[in-house]
Amino acid sequence: MAGMAKYLVKRIGFMSITLLLVTILTFIFTNVLPGNVAVLILGPEATEESLQALEQQLGLNRPLYVQYLDWIVGLIQGDMGTSLRYGEPVAALIAEDLGKSFLLAGSATFVAVFLAVPLGVIASVYQNKWPDYLASTFAFAGISIPGFLWGLVLIFIFSLIFDIFPTSGYVPPSEDPIATVHHLVLPASALGFALTAYIMRMTRSSMLEVLKEEYIQLAEAKGLNERLVVTKHALRNAIIPVITVIAFQFSYAFGGVVVIEEVFFWPGIGQLTLSAIENRDIPLIQGTVLIIALVFMISNLIADLLYAYFDPRIRYGADN
């Protein structure tokens, strides 16, 4: 328990340093973007006096280090600034769309697990046989084809040809849960296919190790049902490292929503980020990038903690 606490404190410290570096890099990159924010707001016909007045009002004429310190102080106080494009608090805009992206990323992870775990089990049971090759081919096809291309393919097949699912849009679960799922199937599948390969390969390799254990061979020698041996005994022990991989893949899925949301016009944080970039909305860009980075880091931390919880052999925090 002490080792776990020590490890947790160490990881949170590293996360804090990483998050600080993210704020620095985000601030630098957003301030070297081409274009003048005041011109974007007032238009190219604005006078020099009005441009200077707006720059002073927004604080854009101050030294960059002063602007950065003001931003950090605001973050500490819970103020992420005001969107230049929408004129609303950045935190409120992110809070409105964050749940939609979580829904999409979580559904994509579910699709990946639903496909990858059975494929991994089948591949391990039929090692080096045609089911193994077929499962591996399907999994690697998922990771080889970009998510946006999967999205276009699914739209073409299931929307344009068969007219089963809508091409875009979002319906809140509070209004119509069935319609929410109906709009969610294609984007979640397109994003989930890209996550399938890694989970499938980890399931397969973990299962192969467990299937070689003596207690599994003994169970088979006693004549126990093969399906029971595989699902109840082997998979239960092989799933431990797979759980951590699933947690990692969720973070990748959340990072991948930016492209998928644009393809399917899903109004989440991904579309909000692209809109901020198109309009050079610096406070909104900084806020969305920071939130995406934070979700990624927290997901990785949860993955490590799950590994420690399910596998007592891991002694985090122990001295090397």
User: Do 58 and 207 share a structural domain?
Assistant: no
Give yes or no: residues 40 and 104 share one domain: no
Residue 136 lies in a domain: yes
Cα→Cα distances 248→92, 109, 119, 264, Å: 27, 10, 19, 24
Range of the domain at 39: 35-79
- Looking at residue 92, what is its pLDDT? 94
In a domain, 148, yes or no: yes
The CA-atom distances, in angstroms, between 3 and each of 6, 36, 287, 299 are 5, 51, 34, 21
The per-residue pLDDT for 1 is: 58
Domains contained in the chain, number: 2
Predicted confidence at residue 175, as pLDDT, reads: 92
Contacts of 69-76 with C-beta under 8 Å, sequence gap 24+, read 71/23, 71/27, 71/286, 72/23, 75/23, 75/290
45 domain residue, yes or no: yes
Looking at the structure, do residues 48 and 144 belong to the same domain, yes or no?
no
Answer whether residue 12 is part of any domain.
no
Specify the DSSP class assigned to residue 129.
Answer: S
SS3 assignment, position 82: strand
Q: What is the pLDDT of residues 104-143, one digit of tens each?
A: 999 999 999 999 999 999 999 998 899 999 988 887 787 7
Q: Can you give the pTM of this predicted structure?
A: 0.85
Q: Which of 79, 113, 136 is the last residue of a domain?
A: 79
Give bridge partners of residue 88 from the DSSP assignment: none
Q: What is the dihedral of CA 207, 209, 214, 215, to 10 degrees?
A: -30
Q: What is the CATH number of the domain that holds 166?
A: 1.10.3720.10
User: Are 117 and 66 within one domain?
Assistant: no
In a domain, 14, yes or no: no
- Rounded to an integer, what distance in angstroms lies between the CA atom of residue 234 and that of residue 240? 11
Residue-level pLDDT, tens digit, the chain, 320 residues: 566 777 788 888 888 899 999 999 988 888 776 666 777 667 677 787 887 887 777 777 788 888 899 889 999 898 998 888 888 999 999 999 999 999 999 999 999 999 999 999 999 999 889 999 998 888 778 778 888 899 999 999 999 999 999 999 999 999 999 999 999 999 999 999 888 888 998 999 999 998 888 878 777 777 777 777 787 778 888 888 888 888 888 888 888 888 899 999 999 999 999 989 888 888 999 999 999 999 988 888 887 777 766 665 555 544 44
Please give the single-letter amino acid code of residue 177. Answer: P
The greatest distance separating any two alpha carbons of the chain, rounded to the nearest whole angstrom, comes to 89
Can you count the helices (H) and strands (E) in the chain? 13, 0
Q: pLDDT at position 3, please?
A: 64
Residue-level pLDDT at 231: 77
DSSP, collapsed to helix, strand or coil, labels residue 89 as strand
What is the DSSP code string of 198-213? HHHHHHHHHHHHHHTS
pLDDT in tens, 6-46: 778 888 888 889 999 999 998 888 877 666 677 766 767 77
Which spans in 156-278 are helix H?
Answer: 177-211, 214-221, 226-228, 235-264, 269-278
Interior angle at CA 87, CA 84 and CA 89, nearest 5: 95
- End position of a domain, from candidates 15, 44, 79: 79
Cα 232 to Cα 242: distance, rounded to the nearest angstrom: 16
Q: How far is 230 from 235, CA to CA, in rounded Å?
A: 6
Structure tokens at 279: 């309009």
Closest by CA position to 81, among listed 102, 58, 98: 58
pLDDT at 314: 55
Asked which of 79, 110, 135 is the last residue of a domain, the reply is: 79
Neighbours of 7 (CB within 10 A): 18
Structure tokens of 277? 């970039």
- Residue 29: inside a domain, yes or no? no
Q: How crowded is residue 108: how many other Cβ atoms within 10 Å of its Cβ?
A: 29
Chain position carrying tokens 């990038």? 289
